[in-house]
Structure 1
Amino acid sequence: MPIPIGKEYMDAVGGLGKIANYQSVEVNTTACGEEEVGFGKAIYAEEDIAQVLEASKNFFGVALARNYVPEITAGEKVGTYKQGDAVPALRKGTIWVLVDEDVKSGNKAVANTATGNFLPSSTSETTKTDVIGTFLSTAMADGLAMLQINLP
């Protein structure tokens, strides 16, 4: 049976690093390395240590946001994971991410290895990965877009 009114079950924009819908989701957890990892950032993982994606590293997933962030008392929740924290990385599903350029629904997505954010595959930036997924919403630069990934 279809859900007649989707907003009663899921907010339109859940926030940076939040799961965007209730379809199948797979998450792997690693430990945060020396550098902080922000919610919704593209990450790589080596020897069970997660860090924000860098050039020449393999995309591992997108860092999920925590629901409770004790260090943030007001304003937007843009929290981070600190060294030793467990970092849940979305490897399959749809998540809200920050985009560095305008994207349209249906664009192929790549990660920006300079910022850990995301770009359309048609970008002229040289600091990009291979295609990692598809955008399921349209957003302007520095806005949130739904990114769908399906990693093995």
Structure 2
Amino acid sequence: MPIPVGTYYQKKELGNGTVATIENNVVDTVTAGEEINFGVAVNIKDGKAVTATSAPIMGIAIKRNRIDGDDYNALPDDKFKAGELIGVLRKGGISVPITTDVSRYDFATVNSDGTFKTAGAGDSVVGRFKTDGYAGKNAIVQVELTDMVITAPASDNSGSNNNQPTTKQDTQPTTTDKGGKQ
């Protein structure tokens, strides 16, 4: 049996919804509540997966390993159907559709159609891009979704600064020293 050469059968970049890392991934299985494209962000509504319209998200739809059609040309229109069980990635790296140019390590957020973009100031962050990408193409996003809402900082999208929130001490330190006597 010959060893397949990947570039003969697909483009160099991974397709939407392709798990992109070999690390341990966390995947939930959920019933689709509507048609869902591969690689888009999903949320849960009435116990079923729907395309997310904003962050926070439940996860990202993983593509299936077969075409739901008669021939290879059916691939561009393939998506999950309502009622179908789908894999939803909650932790790991996955190839997603992007609508803006992105750079490696940019914070990622979700558009109203479940696709991804670079997070702006005040946007809820769902992960970080692990690769560069051009608008209308794909990029790999790394997620570790914990159902917590995190917003992008107003000053810097890189997350590499040391501007961490601080808390003031709300009480004065107590001392037991009373002029040298105890």
Decide which of 132, 140, 153 is 1:138's aligned counterpart. 132
Give the TM-score taking structure 1 as reference length: 0.80
Give the TM-score taking structure 2 as reference length: 0.68
Q: Which residue of 2 aligns with 1:100?
A: 99
How far does the alpha carbon of each residue in 1:85-139 deviate from its partner, in whole angstroms, 9 at most, with x for none? 0021000000000001100001000011x2210000138xxxx951000000001
Paired residue type of 2:141 = L
- The answer to whether the Cα contact below 8 Å between 2:40 and 2:96 also exists between their aligned partners in 1 is yes
The structure whose residues are more often strand, as a share, is: 1
- The answer to whether the Cα contact below 8 Å between 1:26 and 1:90 also exists between their aligned partners in 2 is yes
Gaps of 5+ in 1: 1-6
Quick one: distance in 1 between partners of 2:40 and 2:141?
Answer: 12
RMSD across aligned positions (CA): 2.3
Provide the identity percentage. Answer: 27
- The answer to whether the Cα contact below 8 Å between 1:27 and 1:89 also exists between their aligned partners in 2 is yes
Equivalences for 1:70-81 in 2 at 5 Å?
Answer: 70-71=68-69, 73-75=71-73, 77-78=75-76, 79-81=78-80
Paired residue total: 136
The answer on 1:62 being equivalent to 2:56 is: no
Q: Which residue of 2 aligns with 1:3?
A: none
Decide which of 143, 167, 170 is 1:149's aligned counterpart. 143
Gaps of 5+ in 2: 1-5, 147-182
SS at match of 2:75: coil
Equivalences for 1:16-95 in 2 at 5 Å?
Answer: 16-33=16-33, 35-55=34-54, 58-71=56-69, 73-75=71-73, 77-78=75-76, 79-95=78-94
Higher relative contact order (CA 8 A, sep 6+): 1
Q: What is the deviation of 1:58?
A: 4.0
Decide which of 88, 94, 114 is 1:116's aligned counterpart. 114
- The answer to whether the Cα contact below 8 Å between 1:15 and 1:96 also exists between their aligned partners in 2 is yes
How far does the alpha carbon of each residue in 1:35-75 deviate from its partner, in whole angstroms, 9 at most, with x for none? 200100111013430000125x7410000000112326224
- The answer to whether the Cα contact below 8 Å between 1:41 and 1:97 also exists between their aligned partners in 2 is yes
